[in-house]
Amino acid sequence: MTDDFFDPRAAGGSLFDRGLANDAQAAAQTARSDVEFLRHEVDRLYLVTEALWRLLKDEHGYADASLAQLVAAIGAEHARERSDPEGRPQPPCEKCGRQMGRRQPKCMWCGAERILDVFGR
């Protein structure tokens, strides 16, 4: 990714416009750095989780199916906790059928975008 596609100094406009462009460029750079840091942290968590799971399988005989079942159950619990104040369940993902949180714009399991119910309340 490069920052060179837009150079506010060459874009003309007022000093104010260029100041805004510079601010936007700095904010975008900060956001990219934050995303990069979070990707690194997610990668690290993924490695630690995988190592722990391998230990549990190798040392204690747990099976992948048990983990998948527990992950699904915990995901459903979290979705219930995030449901609206009246306790109405959230509709599951249209693509994979797993529970999605109320405010999740995308399914955390398959990445499918939430199909908004325009009449939903």
Binding site for Zn ion (CB under 5 A): 93, 95-96, 107, 109-110, 112
Residue 1: both structure tokens together: 């990714």
d(CA 96, CA 57): 27
- C-beta of 100: minimal distance to Zn ion in Å? 7
Q: Which is nearer to Zn ion, 19 or 111 (CB)?
A: 111
d(CA 28, CA 20): 12
Greatest pairwise CA separation for the chain in angstroms: 68
Q: Which is nearer to Zn ion, 36 or 94 (CB)?
A: 94
Residues in the chain: 121
- C-beta of 71: minimal distance to Zn ion in Å? 13
Residue 2: both structure tokens together: 């490069």
- C-beta of 83: minimal distance to Zn ion in Å? 17
d(CA 25, CA 34): 14
Q: Which is nearer to Zn ion, 73 or 110 (CB)?
A: 110
- C-beta of 111: minimal distance to Zn ion in Å? 7
Q: Which is nearer to Zn ion, 18 or 98 (CB)?
A: 98
Calculate the CA 117 to chain-centre distance. 21
